[in-house]
């Protein structure tokens, strides 16, 4: 079958769909290390994993509204300054299963682990675009360019057998501070097949759907990508919209993700012994907004205590071109005392004082994206 050449995968991944392969690690894996190991990083695909086996002949085509279209080989990309950016990648469908409990939604059922934090190594897209004559900090050009589309090597049924596609604005693409990468390394190792070998886009602070894997071409265009995943998916609709009255063109493609957190050191429901229990999890916000604080409540949200937070810059990979960690999650921890059945709630606040919504009902949408409601786990006394 077209799925007969999939790469080997870690046995502890929870497989939500086999073909295409969609899997997430156990919650506990996310709080065991600040940087998520590659084999435990969630995998989100819309088709078979393509095989790119001739690295010498592999190239990325730069085309569209540019003076001199050209092909870039891996050696050309590697000859540009290399940056290591620690960035959290999150699928817009993270925590969808909990949203579907309110009312049915369409999409792969994810628990809280369709997210991971990695050190991505590669060239900045802003430097690559300069090679074809588009200067840094360009919002539009006299050829009418305003968007940059990424087209993959893979094939998916949503595109009727065509490649996966997405786009970002030209101003984000040419802004060196946006840290958009063409990445060939993940956590200091060559990018593997599951995560986009030999080259993928990483758009920090933006839903994972825009970080196109197995890059085939970069298309400089006037309007945003007309691909399925920009126009007919990954949009946030109000709770009143259903499959009969949906009008896809009435909403913009989702880009930045909102403030998010989840408790990962315990399952829901978790049996615990009376006494001290360590509550650990992750918190992250999109758009480069850092996390201001994480609050924990044991009484349904009446009273809160602040958790402690850690953020370790990807020290072992830092080079002279390293950047800050505004794109990366914080891990939080609070020790609580449990003497009865207790619901533990986490909510995060970002640097713009955005707060996670209390209830999933208020953000429910038919595609089940962006469930960022307060995260709750139930602790029961037992052995």
Report the interface residues with ligand MTE, using CB under 6 A.
41-46, 89, 91, 152, 154, 164, 195, 208-209, 211-214
Quick one: 28 exposed, middle or buried, by C-beta within 10 A (0-12, 13-18, 19+)? middle
| Tokens representing residue 278 in the block | 């360590």
CA 42, CA 12: separation in Å to the nearest integer? 11
Closest CA to 199 of 148, 135, 128: 128
Query: Partners of 180 in the beta sheet?
Result: none
- Contact between 20 and Mo ion by CB under 5 A: the answer reads no
What is the nearest approach in angstroms of Mo ion to the Cβ of residue 273? 38
The entry of Mo ion, ligand MTE, none that residue 165 binds, CB within 5 to 8 Å by partner kind: none
Alpha-carbon torsion (134, 136, 142, 144), positive or negative: positive
The entry of Mo ion, ligand MTE, none that residue 212 binds, CB within 5 to 8 Å by partner kind: ligand MTE
What is the nearest approach in angstroms of ligand MTE to the Cβ of residue 214? 5
The entry of ligand MTE, Mo ion, none that residue 211 binds, CB within 5 to 8 Å by partner kind: ligand MTE
- Contact between 13 and Mo ion by CB under 5 A: the answer reads no
Of the pair 195, 326, the CB lying nearest ligand MTE is at 195
- Report the residue from 145, 153, 202, 209 that binds Mo ion according to the rule CB under 5 A: 209
Q: End-to-end distance of the chain based on CA atoms, in angstroms?
A: 46
CA 163, CA 46: separation in Å to the nearest integer? 10
| Three-state SS at 315 | helix
Of the pair 16, 219, the CB lying nearest Mo ion is at 16
Of the pair 148, 209, the CB lying nearest ligand MTE is at 209
Alpha-carbon torsion (83, 172, 157, 100), positive or negative: positive
Of the pair 194, 292, the CB lying nearest ligand MTE is at 194
- Report the residue from 163, 208, 286, 287 that binds Mo ion according to the rule CB under 5 A: 208
The entry of ligand MTE, Mo ion, none that residue 124 binds, CB within 5 to 8 Å by partner kind: none
Of the pair 152, 261, the CB lying nearest ligand MTE is at 152
- Contact between 253 and Mo ion by CB under 5 A: the answer reads no
Of the pair 88, 322, the CB lying nearest ligand MTE is at 88
CA 245, CA 184: separation in Å to the nearest integer? 42
CA 118, CA 40: separation in Å to the nearest integer? 11
CA 153, CA 22: separation in Å to the nearest integer? 18
**332 and 346 in contact (C-beta within 8 Å)?**
yes
Of the pair 15, 269, the CB lying nearest ligand MTE is at 15
Map the footprint of Mo ion across residues 79-138, applying CB under 5 A: 91
**Interface ranges with Mo ion (CB under 5 A):** 44, 91, 208-209
């Amino acid at each position: 079958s077209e799925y007969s050449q999939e790469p080997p995968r870690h046995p502890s991944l929870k497989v939500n769909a086999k073909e295409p392969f969609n899997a997430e690690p156990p919650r506990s894996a996310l709080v065991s290390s600040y940087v998520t190991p590659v084999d435990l990083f969630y995998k989100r695909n819309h088709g078979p994993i393509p095989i790119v086996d001739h690295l010498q002949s592999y190239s990325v085509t730069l085309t569209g509204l540019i003076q001199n279209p050209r092909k870039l080989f891996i050696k050309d990309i590697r000859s540009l300054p290399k940056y290591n950016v620690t960035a959290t990648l999150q699928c817009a469908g993270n925590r969808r299963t909990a949203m579907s409990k309110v009312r049915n939604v369409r999409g792969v059922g994810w628990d809280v682990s369709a997210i991971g934090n990695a050190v991505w190594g590669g060239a900045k897209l802003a430097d690559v675009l300069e090679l074809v004559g588009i200067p840094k900090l360009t919002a539009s050009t006299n050829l009418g360019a305003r968007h940059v589309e990424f087209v993959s090597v893979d094939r998916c049924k949503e595109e009727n057998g065509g490649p996966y596609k997405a786009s970002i604005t030209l101003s984000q693409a040419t802004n060196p501070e946006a840290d958009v990468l063409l990445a060939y390394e993940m956590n200091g190792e060559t990018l593997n097949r599951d995560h986009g070998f030999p080259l993928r886009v990483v758009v920090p602070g933006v839903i994972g759907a825009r970080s196109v894997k197995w890059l085939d071409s970069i298309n400089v265009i006037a309007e945003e990508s007309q691909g399925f995943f920009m126009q007919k998916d990954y949009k946030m609709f109000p709770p009143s919209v259903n499959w009969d009255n949906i009008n896809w063109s009435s909403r913009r493609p989702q880009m930045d993700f909102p403030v998010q957190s989840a408790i990962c050191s315990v399952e829901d429901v978790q049996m615990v012994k009376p006494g001290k229990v360590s509550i650990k999890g992750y918190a992250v916000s999109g758009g480069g907004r850092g996390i201001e604080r994480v609050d924990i409540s044991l009484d349904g949200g009446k009273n809160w205590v602040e958790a402690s937070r850690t953020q370790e810059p990807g020290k072992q990979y830092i080079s002279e071109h390293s950047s800050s960690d505004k794109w990366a999650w914080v891990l939080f921890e609070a020790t609580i005392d449990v003497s009865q059945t207790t619901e533990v709630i986490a909510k995060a606040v970002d640097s713009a004082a955005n707060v996670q919504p209390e209830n999933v009902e208020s953000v429910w949408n038919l595609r089940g994206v962006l469930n960022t409601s307060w995260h709750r786990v139930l602790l029961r006394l037992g052995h």
